[in-house]
Structure 1
Amino acid sequence: MDYEQVLEQYRPMISAIIRDFNIYKDFEDYEQIAMLALWKATQIYDEERGAFSSIAYTLMKRAVGDALRKNIQAAKQTPVESDTLQHLTESSTDENETLEWLILIFEKLSPEERKLSHMYWIEEIPNEELAERFQISYDGVTKRKYRLLTKLKKIASSIQKNET
């Protein structure tokens, strides 16, 4: 099966799949994902397994959907973390004052919370490795980080109230 011919034939299907997910931003990125899935379909296609169009459609739809879910999940997590860190440090323009303020905040954390904070923000260790080091699941790491961020916000807020 010649991929170039298949690609030309299935371009309308690729566009339809992307439109089904209401994707308009980063259209080209998702188009590439669908094209890669189409190529994979040409590699694994077996006439005994059914029509090529249904296999191609399934693989492309699944690939685009998975990529979209990953991007949505990443978008949900990133702003919370970066907003919190910005919130924690924006109260002062003086580096020494900011450092003292951060020390006050981190003194209120448990040793395990300090360790997680350091490993995540300073050492920039990814969640997968944190899960291994803490011997918990990936979801457990994300839940701990969420609770830690919530706690950091509360501590920062209470320190700011006490300073004013």
Structure 2
Amino acid sequence: MHSRQQPMITSILLKCHIYKDFEYYRHIAAIAVWEAWKKADPEKGLFSSYVYTTVKGEIMKELTREKQFEQHFTVMDDETLNVYRENQLEHEGAPVLLESIMPHLNMEERKLLVLFYLEGYSYAEITNELQLTVVAVKKRRVRLMIKLRQLLTLTEV
């Protein structure tokens, strides 16, 4: 990305009140700049205006998606998860249940399940291991929990 876009991106992020996950949103903005560059038509107006509108639009879309995600899913704190993990894994059928669930998970889901629930890794450790942001790990964990609940419901029937 051209360095001329950096101050504009920083300005948009601050105007959108983004103070956490700054690098995540900066990445979204960089992709938006690239998309704007690919689609730009000089006959329709200034490139700088088009880039600004495109970047701000993408940031606002991501903020909306994040808000909707938070409204639909409750992220459990570590203490709640530890109690849940201990109660579930102490159950004598857990190894058999785990074996029946694993084939239904993709490799990333399996790795996340093992790291977080079986080995007790923290978010920071998982982000280092999977090369993802904390936000991405949290979203993937919620999706994994939803999938596990669906799988557990199927195995109980």
Q: What TM-score do you get using the length of structure 2 for normalisation?
A: 0.50
Q: What TM-score do you get using the length of structure 1 for normalisation?
A: 0.48
